[in-house]
Chains A and B, each alone.
Chain A
Amino acid sequence: MRHIKTIVAATLLSTTLTSCFKEEPLNAECDIEQAYIHLDNPLEMFFQKSDTLVSLTSIQNDVIFKVKRGTDRSALAPQFRLTEGATIFPESGSLQDFSNGPIIYTVTSQDKEWSRKYNVSFTLPPVVLNTINYDFSTFEKNTNNPANKYYVWYDKSDEGTKTFSWATGNPGYYLSKTLAKSTDYPSVPVESELEEGKYCVKLTTRATGPKAVRLQMPIAAGNFFYGRFNANIALEHPMEATEFGWQINFKPVSFEGNYKYLRGEKVTDKDQNELTDKKDYGSIYAVLYDNEAGNKVLNGNDILTSENIVALAKLPDIDDTPEWTNFNIDFQYSKDIDENKMKSYGYSLAIVCSSSVNGDKFEGAVGSTLWVDKFTIKCEKIDE
């Protein structure tokens, strides 16, 4: 009997399933995974050796090499690591003139069915004055596919190109609520009440869905930060998806800005238990840290605890604040600054705002709302 069963099983499987496996289909993906440039002496052009390599997440359409002032950008040959089998035009390693701004490269998948366009640029460092102002009034709907789902913020570089230096958890929220309206996301722009015609950023702690609740992620705090959001791992490792900070070459002295805050009613923990003795608070802080020559990025796990932290400018937990309130706090340095390291972009600055102070632990009150507007970083310039 057992034999017959085995024979029947084998016959069935081989006829209906196994024997029918076809040849492997060609790859349909067309991403630039990494861009790099090979130079005999990279430090002539770059501040750090690690700057010769740019890694991209799947939602980025821009490849930005940050080069030193005075670099001749008229004949550079960036190379690209693409998804398997994909091709790129202009060709990887071909000489291009980047002195007039970004060049558009098109990547085509191995099966020729799909393509993506990337803006590749070599940008000069921003001219650092004594203050750096952010008014959060330049934003658009996301352009990565699927487009127009949520808002993204950008700054204009001195040369006029967009740099997406401020990030939010919106791309992660999109994955958890694909049907949400762009205005219902945790991070949205709203009209500024401080200056007519301008905008501020509104962050709201939102409830997630049943599966997320089971995974002990029942809320999504609105966040807004100077850094990058890695959507690839947003659901798998949410804490690590917030890559805080960008490399800078100036010494921040103080952090100024404006906010108002309205807390939600019921604070719940990751298991959705109501914490009746707890109140929700908003959170705003700036962190300067040693990026280990461009190799270290702090994330949700260690942004306030890492040994790499050099200075911190942190507001006390933000209580209910119905009126717009100005703050101005100094960076508290716990370590000395190495000027040479600073000049070569060896430190990174992170600025983080969240509508629930413990939102990273999925603890907070649905409805808690933090508005932020007009940030200024005062800095001491390190002479180049």
Chain B
Amino acid sequence: MKKIFLTAILVLFGITEGLCANNLLRNYSYYARIGYHLGGTAPNGMPSTIRKMNSYSLRPNFMLGVDAYHPFNDRWGIMFGLHFENKGMKVDATVKNYHMSMQQGNDDPIEGMFTGNVVTKVDQSLATIPVQAAYDLSNKVRFKFGPYFSYVTSHNFNGYAYDGYLRETDPTGTKVNIGHEPTDRGDYDFSGDMRNWQFGIDVGVDWYFSKRWGGFAGLTWGLSEVFKKDFNVIEQSLYPIYGNIGLIYQFK
């Protein structure tokens, strides 16, 4: 945690230094970026209560952004920008004795230990500011590493449990059968328990195959969990971990 802030401060220091060098508006290049995210909102290390992944479906996780790059010397520089992006997933997993809360033809949710299948849909729209140290391996390949900060403009985390049973409160509680059809499965929606701010580490590489056009690939690893601190229905902390891939266009 501390390290990220340290990195952020160093990078900001770098910016300030750049300003002091009185070359503020000189020597900047600008880029547009369009890409696609693929990944999941997942715990760091799978708990033993998650047994199997039955399916994973793609979501419209497009990202669109602009970046500015400023070199400090031949090799090193800084890149920062503003990205609008979606990070979502839909996963169907088999769980055993997994703490959940759900509604099945009832009013107050029932909470306890679920064994069966869980479908989870996550959709988040974010405005993200990445601030990255950049290293040019050649005039075609640039590595980037640094923190990102995201404001979550809309978030959904919902789904349903099916084909299983929930032990109300704990494994000795009432066994509530959860069926397969929409009318008898257990729905849940934790969208309201999600955080508005996220941060993490963004590493990637840009590769230019022409003067203006390039491709990029990267990984954004969330270090802040997606849920608020006081949310404890899902016992594991979940982090957004998404890889991305796309095209860059250099304006100047």
| A residues adjacent to B (C-beta < 8 A) | 4-5, 8-9, 11-13, 16-18, 20-25, 27-31, 57-59, 109, 113-116, 144-146, 171, 174-179, 208-212, 215, 217, 231-238
CA gap between A209 and B104 in the complex, in Å? 11
Closest approach, in angstroms, between the C-beta of A233 and any C-beta of chain B?
6
Q: Are B42 and A17 in contact (CB under 8 A)?
A: yes
- Among B175, B187, B242, B243, which residue has its beta carbon within 8 angstroms of that of A58? B175
Query: 4 new A-B pairs (CB below 8 Å) besides A31-B175, A235-B106?
Result: A17-B46, A58-B173, A58-B174, A175-B176
> Given A5-B38, A29-B171, are A178 and B179 neighbors across the interface (CB < 8 Å)?
no
B174 near A232 with CB under 8 A, answer: yes
- Decide yes or no: A212 and B106 within 8 Å by CB, A17-B42, A233-B177 being known contacts: yes
Beyond A20-B45, A145-B169, A179-B108, whether A236 also contacts B51 by CB under 8 A is no
Interface string of B66-102 (1 = CB under 8 A from A): 0000000000000000000000000000001100000
Chain B contacts with A in 158-180, Cβ cutoff 8 A = 165, 167-179
Interchain CB contact under 8 A, B175 and A232: yes
A175 close to B106 (CB less than 8 A): yes
B40 lies within 8 A of chain A by Cβ: yes
Residues of the A chain whose Cβ atoms lie less than 8 Å from the Cβ of B52: 21
Cα distance, A348 to B136, chains bound together (Å): 85
Q: Which 10 A-B pairs have the closest CB atoms?
A: A209-B107, A176-B106, A58-B175, A20-B46, A22-B48, A28-B171, A215-B105, A25-B48, A236-B184, A178-B108
A236, B243: Cα distance in complex, Å: 40
On whether the beta carbons of B105 and A212 are closer than 8 Å, the reply is yes
A145–B106 touching, CB < 8 Å = no
B110 is an interface residue with CB less than 8 A from chain A: yes
Give chain B's interface residue range (CB within 8 Å of chain A): 35 or more
Bound-state CA distance A177–B167 (Å) is 16
- A-B pair number, CB within 8 angstroms: 145
The reply to whether A17 and B53 contact each other, CB–CB distance below 8 Å, is: yes
Instruction: Flag B22-50 by CB within 8 Å of A: 1 or 0 each.
Output: 00000000000000101110100111111
A13 to B105, alpha carbons, bound, how many Å? 35
Are B176 and A234 in contact, CB atoms less than 8 angstroms apart?
A: yes
* A171 adjacent to B42 (CB under 8 Å): no
Q: Which residues of B contact A23 (CB under 8 A)?
A: 48
Question: Chain B, 103-124, contact with A by CB distance < 8 Å: what is the 0/1 string?
Answer: 1111111110100000000000
Q: State whether B110 touches A178 (Cβ < 8 A).
A: yes
Task: Assess whether A232 is in contact with B106, with CB atoms less than 8 Å apart.
Answer: no
Q: Are A24 and B172 in contact, with the CB atoms below 8 A? A: no
A10 shortest CB reach to chain B, Å: 10
B105 with A176: CB separation less than 8 A:
yes
The answer to whether A5 and B36 have CB atoms under 8 Å apart is: yes
Q: Is the CB–CB distance between B168 and A175 below 8 Å?
A: yes
Do the beta carbons of A235 and B53 come within 8 Å of each other?
A: no
Residues on the B chain within 8 Å of A178, using CB: 108-111, 168
Determine the residue in chain A with the shortest Cβ distance to B219.
A12
Contact yes or no, B53 A175, CB < 8 A = no
Q: Are B107 and A176 in contact (CB under 8 A)?
A: yes
Q: Are B108 and A21 in contact (CB under 8 A)?
A: no
| Cβ distance A219 to chain B, nearest Cβ, rounded Å | 12
**Which of chain B's residues have a CB closer than 8 A to the CB of A174?**
174
Q: Which residues of A contact B168 (CB under 8 A)?
A: 145-146, 175, 178
Q: Which residue of B lies closest to A12 (CB)?
A: B243
Supposing A29-B171, A176-B106 touch, asked if A22 and B46 sit within 8 A by C-beta, the answer is: yes
Closest Cβ of chain A to B193, distance in Å, is 18
Q: Are A109 and B171 in contact (CB under 8 A)?
A: yes
Residues of B within 8 A of A29 (CB): 167, 171-172
What are some 25 contacts across the A-B interface (CB < 8 A)? A5-B38, A5-B245, A8-B245, A9-B38, A12-B38, A12-B219, A16-B39, A21-B46, A24-B48, A25-B49, A30-B172, A114-B172, A145-B168, A145-B170, A145-B174, A171-B174, A176-B107, A178-B108, A209-B106, A211-B103, A211-B104, A211-B187, A231-B176, A232-B165, A232-B175
With A24-B51, A28-B113 already in contact, the answer to whether A145 and B172 are too (CB < 8 A) is yes
Closest residue of B by beta carbon distance from A27 = B97
Chain A residues within 8 Å of B241, by CB: 12, 16
Instruction: State the CA gap A8–B216 with chains docked (Å).
Output: 12
Q: Is B64 an interface residue (CB 8 A)?
A: no
B217 cross-chain contacts in A, Cβ below 8 A = 4, 8
Task: Check A21 against B176 for contact (C-beta < 8 Å).
Answer: no
Closest to A15 in B: B241
Q: How far is the CA of A234 from the CA of B39 in the complex (A)?
A: 38
